[in-house]
Amino acid sequence: MPRIIVLPHADLCPEGAVIEDAEPGKSICQVLLDHHIEIEHACEMSCACTTCHVVVREGGDSLNEADELEEDMLDMAWGLEAQSRLSCQAVVDSTDLVIEIPRYTINHARENH
């Protein structure tokens, strides 16, 4: 099984994390949640927001290609980079990944509370 290295994030995993048993065929978002890294996913992984935005620092070529809807959503993400993906849409293959969870997300529901 591939390994996912999550770079340190001040709130979600301050020390970073190494997931040794990422299940191929699952989205990055689901793998993170399965391993108690509580990445935001305000739209319940339906590709309708950008709260699960990640930057794939290594291994991104092994992921499924982003479709037009994901690309359109990503255009609204805070801190967009060429390697950005919505983690709910990026499906793990057999290649190890290094991901970074951006410091901020655009979450209108959370901002209003």
Asked if 40 and 48 touch (Cβ cutoff 8 Å), the reply is no
Instruction: Say what the pLDDT of residue 29 is.
Output: 98
Other beta carbons within 10 angstroms of residue 98's beta carbon come to 17
Q: Is the dihedral of CA 20, 53, 51, 42 positive or negative?
A: negative
One digit per residue, the tens of pLDDT, for the chain of length 113 reads: 999 999 999 999 999 999 999 999 999 999 999 999 999 999 999 999 999 999 999 999 999 999 999 999 999 998 999 999 999 999 999 999 999 999 877 664 444 33
Q: Is the dihedral of CA 62, 87, 55, 98 positive or negative?
A: negative
Domain count, the chain: 1
Instruction: Say what the pLDDT of residue 21 is.
Output: 95
Instruction: Say what the pLDDT of residue 109 is.
Output: 46
Asked if 54 and 17 touch (Cβ cutoff 8 Å), the reply is no
Structural domain including 10 reads 4-111
Q: Please report, for the domain that includes residue 15, its CATH number.
A: 3.10.20.30
In DSSP notation, 89-113 reads T-B--SS-EEEE--S----HHHHT-
Instruction: Say what the pLDDT of residue 64 is.
Output: 97
Longest dimension (CA), the chain: 40
pTM of the model: 0.91
